[in-house]
Amino acid sequence: MKTSRTCLGATKITFEFRAGFAVFGFAIVVLTLMPFPLNGAQYYTNWAAAHFSDIPAQSGPLADPDGDGEPNVVEFAFGTDPRVGGGIAGAVQPLYGGVNGTNAVFQVEILEREGHQPGVQIDLYLSARLTNWTNWFRPWWLRTTTNSLPSDPAGSVRELFTTRLPGTNIWFVRPKVQLFEGGAETANYYVATNGSDATTNSGTSINAPFATLGKAAGLATNGNLVYVRGGVYPTSSKISFTKISVAGQPIRIRAYPGETPVLDFSAEAGGTDGIAISGNYYWLYGLVFTNAGHNSIAITGTNNIIERCVSLGARNTGFHIGGGSSATSKAASNLFLNCDSIRNYDPAGNGGDADGFAAKWSIGTGNVFSGCRAWENSDDGWDLWMGTSGVLITNCWAFRNGTNILGLVPFKGNGNGFKLGGNNVGAAHTLVCSLSFHNMGTNGCNGIDQNNNTLGQTVDQNTSWGNLKANFSLKHGANTTPHVVRNNVSFAGGSSDAFTSGTLSTNNSWDVVSPTVNTDDFLTVDESFAVAPRRDDGGLPETPFSRPVPGGRLVDKGVKVGIPSYPFYGSAPDLGNFETPMW
């Protein structure tokens, strides 16, 4: 099966188009790690308005007014003229590919003539033959900026894409462009640091915004859009989102395109949440929360989405789902997508309560964490303590949790990567395609921990390594149902992994790889890659970190899991959270 692994999670509708292909050539260019300079680049709607003011009917992303086979969205991404034929010829250039061996370097350079445009994701697909259109696949790519050439236009950007694959002497490359944000819409309300909450101001104009998010949140209703402009917003009290919206008409609270709003709750009293969402169908996007008195976001409502948001330095858990132990309402069907939760800590509890993400106590079904990272939080990366319904965690990373960043004495941070329950409450959680490493602390310190959950957990396709104690600690009392543990990788833990009697352990590294897995089985374990910038579309960074060596001992050693099975390359899934691409 030739497709990339896509574990359980959420998807969004976008425009995408695959442009024409280029074929292999030779050269090597020096690398410089991203992020990109934007060089005054613009969003698609602004670009289209500039190019098609006289023929607006031709301004759509998939229109091709010059008839060169490249739609506008591709010409936008590569900075070519959409009204002059020629397409993106010369913009995608294969540079280097290995002919022999299982672990060869492949490099492709692209030229973005008007700079790195925001709101689009450029990906490169490869094939070793052109017999049909089903052979194309997208490997992981380490993207770096490289030196411009004297002939390049002013403001242009060159990117170098590098990956590792089995060697081949013939290969082809073609780009795919995805437009995920076209630019600013007309919002119902605006918030800016120079705004006013005066009763005479309606906040409905970008030129006369509100000063606080709380003011806009109190007025927004079904289907409304609130834009929050960039800058720092000192906030001393909790902001409550209480409206009950409906499916298809979320209340959207979004960062203005290209800007980063930071809500700083430093002046807030300890024990007070930054954002409290008791309502339904809110969608928060692109916001940063710092120094909240308790949780950065606490959700007790349902059907809410938190996307591309960051919690930094909250005085308890960064992002939290669920009510108290006696709560009557149950937070359900909430999604945290592509969020980061970093260095949250609780001085009042000596570091024993501040997790990156949590779904605790009285919770309903359908809560999901996808594409998220939690690092250097004082307690756990994820904590599902006493959660009453199953939670899905997919494609998430937890590392260096249990870090005593304040030098608290005594320090009580548990330091588990993924804590899957607690206090003998039964809930069948699912952890898939995730990564846990170098978690520490004083009590726990495990990569993946059952923590007295009385039901069996599903733990598939994960990599857990180098944690202070066990990488897998799934032996807490007697389960009423067995754990299902498949296609996982464990190595270099501080103590032995443990599983309850009856665990269905299938095709894990300890089952099928001998001698035990070590760092030589991966392209690199340089953990600086784990905090690299995200993809343009918000996805986790693509780097060689923690990826199996092509053709190595972890490749094709797994068993098909899931209904339908998670996609994979080759004859069987690889072990661990990453799938190794192949021709």
The conformational region for residue 253 under phi > 0 = left, psi -120 to 50 = alpha, else beta, is beta
Structure tokens at 468: 């202070």
The DSSP H or E segment spanning 418 is strand 418-419
Query: Which residue matches tokens 């091709």?
Result: 64
Query: For residue 515, is the peptide bond before it cis, meaning its omega torsion is within 30 degrees of 0?
Result: yes
Catalytic residue among 215, 243, 330, 419: 419
- Prediction pTM value: 0.94
Three-class SS state of 372? coil
Amino acid letter, 33: L
Contact partners, residue 456, CB within 8 Å, separation at least 6: 428, 479, 480, 481, 482, 483, 484, 503
Q: What's the rounded Cα separation, in Å, for the pair 145 and 306?
A: 30
Question: For residues 171 and 127, is the Cβ–Cβ distance under 8 A?
Answer: yes
Catalytic residue at 412?
no
Write the Ramachandran bin of 183: left for phi over 0, alpha for psi from -120 to 50, otherwise beta.
left
Residue 490 one-letter amino acid: S
> In whole angstroms, what is the distance from residue 144 CA to residue 205 CA?
39
Q: Which helix (H) or strand (E) holds 213?
A: helix 213-219
Half-sphere exposure at residue 536, Cβ-oriented, CA atoms within 13 angstroms: 23
Nearest CA among 426, 489, 497 for reference residue 456: 426
Which pLDDT does position 3 carry in this prediction?
A: 41
> CA–CA separation, 544 vs 524, rounded Å?
6
pLDDT of residue 40: 45
- Whether the CB-CB separation of 548 and 529 falls below 8 Å is answered with no
Query: What is the number of residues in the chain?
Result: 583
Phi, psi of 246 (to 5 degrees): -135, 165
> DSSP strand E in 21-168: where?
22-23, 32-33, 92-97, 104-112, 120-127, 142-146, 157-165
First to last CA, the chain: 11
pLDDT for residue 1:
35
Q: Is 554 left (phi over 0), alpha (psi -120 to 50) or beta?
A: alpha
In the chain, the amino acid numbered 59 is: S
Residue 10's pLDDT is what?
A: 44
Q: Which of 401, 369, 339 is nearest to 538 (CA)?
A: 339
Q: How would you write the pLDDT of the chain (583 residues) with one tens digit per residue?
A: 334 455 654 433 334 444 544 433 222 222 223 333 444 459 999 999 999 999 999 999 999 999 999 999 999 999 999 999 999 999 999 999 999 889 999 999 999 999 999 999 999 999 998 877 778 999 999 999 999 999 999 999 999 999 999 999 999 999 999 999 999 999 999 999 999 999 999 999 999 999 999 999 999 999 999 999 999 999 999 999 999 999 999 999 999 999 999 999 999 999 999 999 999 999 999 999 999 999 999 999 999 999 999 999 999 999 999 987 677 779 999 999 999 999 999 999 999 999 999 999 999 999 999 999 999 999 999 999 999 999 999 999 999 999 998 898 999 999 999 999 999 999 999 999 999 999 999 988 999 999 999 999 999 999 999 999 999 999 998 899 999 999 999 999 999 999 999 999 999 999 999 999 999 999 999 999 999 999 999 999 999 999 999 999 999 999 999 766 788 999 999 999 999 998 9
Helices (H), ranges, 36-79:
44-51, 72-78
Phi, psi of 215 (to 5 degrees): -65, -50
Residue 268 near residue 236, CB atoms below 8 Å? yes
Alpha-carbon distance of 55 to 45, in angstroms, equals 14
Q: Which of 517, 526, 567, 575 is nearest to 546 (CA)?
A: 526
Domain boundaries, the chain: 15-179
Contacts of 241 (CB under 8 A, 6+ apart): 217, 251, 253, 275, 276, 277, 278, 279, 282, 301
Cis omega (within 30 of 0) for bond into 257 = no
pLDDT for 41: 57
Specify the DSSP class assigned to residue 148: P
